[in-house]
Amino acid sequence: MNKIFCFCIALLISCLSVLAQNPLHIPDTLTGPIYNLTVKDSSKIFFPPNVTPTYGMNGDLLAPVLIMNKGDNITLNVINELNVSTTMHWHGFHVSPQNDGGPHQIINPGTTWSPSFKVLNDAATYWFHPHLHENTERQVNKGLAGMIIIRDSIESTYDLPRKDGVDDFPLIVQSKAFDVLYQLAPFNSYDSIIMINGTIDPYLQVPAQVIRLRLLAAASTRSFNFGLEGNIPFYQIASDGGMLDQPVQLTRLRLSTGERAEILIDLSALQGQSLYLKSYASEFPIGIIGAAQVSLNDTLPGYYTNPLNGNDYNLLRFDVTAPTPNPVTTIPNSFAPLNPWLESQADISRDLIFSLDTLILLYSPVEGPFLINNQPFHMDSINIHSYLNNIEIWRLINTTDVAHPFHIHDIQFYILDINGNPPPLGQHGQKDVVLVHPNDTVRFITQFETFADNNEPYMYHCHILHHEDEGMMGHFLVLDTNALVIEELIALQEITLFPNPAADYLYFDTKNLKEKGDFHITLYNVLGQEVKASIRHEKEGILKIDIANFESGIYSLTIKTAQRKYQGKFLKP
Ligand code: C2O
Ligand code: CU
Ligand code: CU
């Protein structure tokens, strides 16, 4: 079956090479403060005269580019005209869990979801896509994804190209699989057709000056190794969630699914010439989806049949035309400094171990399914409890044969090190996706600022969409210690505090506390002032706190272990 399918795909490819090139589609732009996005069924003709059913937002495929300013208060109306449920996630955005658009914010058919929030992220290139539980790949493959550009008052002080479609270009880079009936395949191993902004085999007229490309790697699985024909250098100026501190000169830039980068290319000397932006996938080491071979243990013939794997291929042809009036002609020397958190500030370090799920009957070292910390994703279990304003180090340890692009919602992070070495220069700025190679360990540092919710979680996951859909994902809660009430501590099932209200003695059962070792208890009155009380061991794991001479009122109590802190409240009548 697979063989026949591949043969037909191969046929499709050979037909393709005789097709004419197409002008690159530049998506429309939408500006705020209100953005209306109608998600609907549509169709498009990629291979005339065949009609391919698609999904699109305000159009037949993909979406308009949303332009936002940091600090704006915006509303996004996501109008679901599909006959299936969806969600819409603002990838890279620092928003509350309710506004995040993960699998919990379902938009039923015929309904509108309208998150409103202040844009808090720095100037950079972001994106949005559905995140429906077990259906992300299916919906993205059919056409749902879009780019977001955030501008801010710092970025705007630099002499950079920012005229959309003139010297500043959105490039949503994807690879798609079509079946023999020219339908977009819901799953993606045969993704041999490259599309940029939905255009197959595109060309673009660009002026002979400094241009800016906003690269979004939005294939469902594939990584790209961007480079210019003839190894012409280019300059990376931004990573996922912000500008770098200085342009980084490169001839190759690898982006895995979910990652973004902004690059500058100086075309001043190339007027009248053409050159290709390519993916130099022949240079990919083993382990990366898009390399000739992913795993030495791979026994699936399917992986090798894709003509893109391990080969260099064209993405986009630039035809260099006359410069525009007032062109940007130089590459800036430096930008604002980066402000990473220091390792010494971290409250906790957590390990996330990626492994192959060998309990599933048909597992494969290339295809998975894969797990994080041995737990498959569950819609209603919380894998990690964090605390508002915690500074955390997450250590990502990949024990599998495949490189996984790890993504976390809510925050941007800084990579501390990769196998103990500092990250490449283009990756030392703000990131929300990092590709973790087989046998590698990556550490990042971040802070869970601004948003806390004791019930509504955020997600972390592999951004290879079928890995995510098959369970390589988890939930984390950012708890607000000041809002934690005793019931919630009890729900965590690690601490019991009783009775409440308490008149003379308060008992504290710590037998189930996961972390053994020392801990400190502090009591505070309603003004937040520390109050002293005698605390004695009652019996094994139970502490007795004498509150007989406390004035009546509400008190709070903090228990701090080496790694965590809890806070509860009790009433003294
Ligand atoms: Cu781009 Cu959880 O996603
Ligand atoms: Cu995300
Ligand atoms: Cu993965």
Sheet holding 458-462, edge to edge: 384-387, 473-479, 458-462, 404-408, 433-436
The stretch 363-374 carries a mean pLDDT of 90
Local confidence band at 573 (pLDDT 50, 70, 90 cut-offs):
confident
- Within this chain, do residues 496 and 427 fall inside the same structural domain, yes or no? no
Same domain for 355 and 455, yes or no, is: yes
Q: Token digits for 70?
A: 């940091």
Count of domains forming the chain: 2
Q: Is 523 found in the same domain as 452?
A: no
Domain enclosing residue 526, as ranges: 484-572
User: Cα of 489 to ligand 1 centre, how many Å?
Assistant: 30
- In angstroms, what is the span from residue 19 Cα to ligand 1's centroid? 34
Distances from the Cα of 137 to the Cα of 140, 185, 188, angstroms? 5, 10, 8
- Strands of 412-472, DSSP E: 414-418, 433-436, 441-447, 458-462
Among 12-16, 242-246, 275-279, 366-370, the range scoring the smallest mean pLDDT is: 12-16
Inside any domain, residue 58: no
Between β-strands 441-447 and 414-418, what pairing exists: parallel, antiparallel or unpaired?
A: antiparallel
The b/e string for 241-254 (b: 16+ C-beta within 10 A; e otherwise) is bbbbebbbebeebb
For residue 384, give the H/E element and its range.
strand 384-387
Q: What is the CATH number of the domain that holds 566?
A: 2.60.40.10
Do 77 and 36 touch, CB atoms closer than 8 A? yes
293 neighbors 304 (Cβ within 8 angstroms):
yes
| Residue 519 pLDDT | 74
Give the DSSP letter of residue 107.
B
Same domain, 436 and 356: yes
* Residue 242: strand pairing partners: 239
Q: What's the pLDDT at 75? A: 98
Residue 110 lies in a domain: no
Cα(193) to ligand 3 centroid in Å equals 21
User: Is the shortest distance between the CB of 101 and ligand 1 below 6 Å?
Assistant: no
Cα separation, 173 vs 259, in Å, equals 11
Q: Which helix (H) or strand (E) holds 467?
A: helix 465-469
Closest to 472 in 3D by CA, of 217, 222, 137: 137
What is the Cα–Cα distance from 107 to 457, expressed in whole angstroms? Answer: 17
Atom of ligand 1 nearest to the CA of 460: 2
> Coil, strand or helix: which one is 95?
coil
Tokens 């580019």 belong to 65
Q: Are 43 and 143 in contact (CB under 8 A)?
A: no
351 pLDDT higher than 80:
yes
Find all residues with CB under 8 Å of 401, minimum gap 6, and list them: 287, 294, 295, 296, 297, 298, 356, 365, 366, 438
CB atoms within 10 A of CB 516: 9
Structure tokens that stand for 72 in this block: 């704006």
Q: Is the CB of 466 under 6 A from ligand 1?
A: no
**What gap in Å lies between CA 131 and CA 129, rounded to an integer?**
7
Residue bearing tokens 């009433």: 571
**Domain check: are 554 and 491 in the same one?**
yes
In a domain, 396, yes or no: yes
What are the residues facing 368 on neighbouring strands?
A: 364
260: Cβ below 6 Å to ligand 1? no
In a domain, 429, yes or no: yes
Identify the burial level of 511 via C-beta atoms within 10 angstroms of its C-beta, where 0-12 means exposed, 13-18 middle and 19 or more buried.
exposed
Helix (H) or strand (E) holding 15: helix 2-16
Which residue lies with its CA nearest to atom 1 of ligand 1?
Answer: 91
Q: Look at residue 169 and tell me if it is in a domain.
A: no
- Tell me if 443 sits within 8 A of 415, measured CB to CB: yes
Q: Which of 479, 513, 531 is the C-terminal boundary of a domain?
A: 479
What mean pLDDT is predicted for residues 44-51?
95
Cα(94) to ligand 2 centroid in Å equals: 10
Domain boundary among 479, 494, 512: 479
Q: Which two tokens stand for residue 454?
A: 């004791």
Rounded to 5 degrees, φ, ψ at 67 are: -105, 125
Q: Which of 47-51, 216-220, 502-506, 512-516 is predicted least confidently?
A: 512-516
Cβ(475) – ligand 1 distance below 6 Å: no
Q: Which of 16, 307, 51, 305 is nearest to 182 (CA)?
A: 51
What was the pLDDT predicted at 543?
86
Tell whether 475 and 490 lie within a shared domain. no
Run of H or E including 10: helix 2-16
Amino acid 559: pLDDT: 76
Q: Could you give the CA distance from residue 467 to residue 436 in angstroms, rounded to a whole number?
A: 14
Q: Is the CB of 467 under 6 A from ligand 1?
A: no
Confidence of residue 16 (pLDDT cuts 50, 70, 90): very low
Structure tokens at 184: 């977009």
**Is there a single domain that holds both residue 352 and residue 463?**
yes
Report the pLDDT averaged over residues 130-156: 97
Which DSSP string corresponds to 294-319? Answer: S-TT---GGGGG-TTTTSEEEEEEEE
The string of pLDDT tens digits covering residues 415-453 is 999 999 999 999 999 999 999 999 999 999 999 999 999
In a domain, 500, yes or no: yes
C-alpha R_g of the chain: 26
Nearest partner of 386 among 564, 554, 234, judged by Cα? 564
Give phi and psi for 494, each to the nearest 5: -110, -25
Q: Which ligand is nearest to the CA of 91?
A: 2
> Is there a domain that residue 45 lies in?
no
The residue whose CA is least distant from atom 3 of ligand 1 is 91
C-alpha distances out from residue 486 to 340, 489, 505, Å? 35, 5, 16
Q: Mean pLDDT throughout 249-262?
A: 98
Report the distance separating Cα 165 and Cα 321, nearest Å. Answer: 14
Q: Is the CB of 140 under 6 A from ligand 1?
A: no
Whether residue 430 sits in one domain with residue 472: yes
Cα of 91 vs centre of ligand 2, distance in Å, is 4
> Do both 558 and 473 map to the same domain?
no
Q: Say yes or no: 473 and 551 in one domain.
A: no
pLDDT higher than threshold 50 for residue 239: yes
Strand, coil or helix: 112: strand
Q: Which of 426, 460, 479 delimits the end of a domain?
A: 479
Q: Please compute the mean of the pLDDT values over residues 441-470 and round it to a whole number.
A: 95
Q: Which atom of ligand 1 is nearest to the CA of 129?
A: 1
Does an H or E element contain 468, and which?
A: helix 465-469
Q: Nearest 5°: phi and psi at 253?
A: -145, 115
Does 443 fall in a domain? yes
Index of the ligand 1 atom closest to the CA of residue 91: 1
- The verdict on 470 and 491 lying in the same domain is no
User: 382 and 504: one domain?
Assistant: no
Q: What CATH number does residue 457 fall under? A: 2.60.40.420
The residues pairing with 454 across neighbouring beta strands, listed in sequence order, are none
pLDDT the model gives residue 39: 98
179 vs 2: CA distance, rounded Å: 12
pLDDT tens string 282-305: 999 999 999 988 887 776 555 667
Model pLDDT, residue 2: 37
Mean pLDDT of 524-532: 81
Residue 528 CA to residue 156 CA, distance in Å, equals: 43
Is 91 near ligand 1, meaning CB less than 6 Å away?
yes
Alpha-carbon distance 32 to 72, whole Å?
8
Q: Say if strands 234-239 and 384-387 run parallel, antiparallel, or are unpaired.
A: unpaired
Residue 159 token pair = 């002499």
